[in-house]
Chains A and B, each alone.
Chain A
Amino acid sequence: KAGVTQTPRYLIKTRGQQVTLSCSPISGHRSVSWYQQTPGQGLQFLFEYFSETQRNKGNFPGRFSGRQFSNSRSEMNVSTLELGDSALYLCASSLAHGTDNSPLHFGNGTRLTVT
């Protein structure tokens, strides 16, 4: 079974631009979560989508948004990029919406650099 696929692996953008990251979950997984990983803040939860609906949202500004499609694929969008948005963005899929001990299965991440 193919794992979680994130594209692209690397992105370089300029302040003020916007960016869209893509995530394809493991086949059969309906929950997709996004995390931001930085050396200073560690791993921080952005949001979770399940059955095309946002179920949880972390403490990030409205510039960070996401969506999920009917095939469970998810996209994350960051508008008006700031230097502080430079990070590794990890997508993770899970079989269920937190109703059991199902773990998160992570992709390789997208390394976003904002200049």
Chain B
Amino acid sequence: AQTVTQSQPEMSVQEAETVTLSCTYDTSESDYYLFWYKQPPSRQMILVIRQEAYKQQNATENRFSVNFQKAAKSFSLKISDSQLGDAAMYFCAYRSADTGNQFYFGTGTSLTVIP
């Protein structure tokens, strides 16, 4: 089974600053998808951003961008101009292109935004 590792259990950032959350994964597959999800205290998981492994260009969604390094099996999330509403648990997730909708999640990084 694929494994997803988030080595930072907790991170903090000053409001309006930039923070990068790390994620690495282990796979022997060449075709897959990567996702970042956010889980605020309301507990609903919300999609932040996604990346297809076959795309070299890094995905961006407004203040959120990723640094996808396929050879290094690394998929970090950068949050620019951090806002109080960004405070949440962030999960990195992997999904194979061949095995349906079985997602593998990391253990999460708890992000605190300091006003």
A102, chain B: closest CB distance, angstroms? 8
A42-B108, A98-B99 given; A109·B44 CB < 8 A: yes
**B43 pairs with A45, CB closer than 8 A:** no
**A108 pairs with B43, CB closer than 8 A:** yes
**B101 pairs with A56, CB closer than 8 A:** yes
> B64 an interface residue at 8 Å Cβ cutoff?
no
Q: For B85, what are the chain A residues with a Cβ–Cβ distance below 8 Å? A: none
> B56 an interface residue at 8 Å Cβ cutoff?
no
Q: Taking CB as reference atom, which chain A residue is nearest B6? A: A42
A85, chain B: closest CB distance, angstroms? 18
Give Cα A101–Cα B104 distance, bound, in whole angstroms. Answer: 15
> A63 an interface residue at 8 Å Cβ cutoff?
no
User: Which residues 43-102 of A sit at the B interface, judged by CB distance below 8 A?
Assistant: 43, 45, 48, 50, 55-56, 58, 88, 90, 92, 94, 97-98, 101
Q: For A98, what are the chain B residues with a Cβ–Cβ distance below 8 Å? A: 95-97, 99-102
A42 touches which of B35, B46, B99, B106 (Cβ 8 Å):
B106
Give Cα A17–Cα B42 distance, bound, in whole angstroms. Answer: 28
Q: How large is the interface on A (under 10, 10 to 19, 20 to 34, 35 or more residues)?
A: 20 to 34
A31-B101, A48-B100 given; A88·B43 CB < 8 A: yes
A98-B95, A103-B50 given; A45·B103 CB < 8 A: yes
Q: For A33, what are the chain B residues with a Cβ–Cβ distance below 8 Å? A: 101-103
Count of interface residues, chain B, beta-carbon cutoff 8 Å: 25
Most buried by A among B33, B44, B47, B99: B44
B36, chain A: closest CB distance, angstroms? 10
Q: For B15, what are the chain A residues with a Cβ–Cβ distance below 8 Å? A: none
Most buried by A among B45, B52, B106: B45
> B68 an interface residue at 8 Å Cβ cutoff?
no
> A105 an interface residue at 8 Å Cβ cutoff?
yes
> B90 an interface residue at 8 Å Cβ cutoff?
no
- Residue numbers of A with Cβ under 8 A of B are 31, 33, 35, 42-43, 45, 48, 50, 55-56, 58, 88, 90, 92, 94, 97-98, 101, 103-109
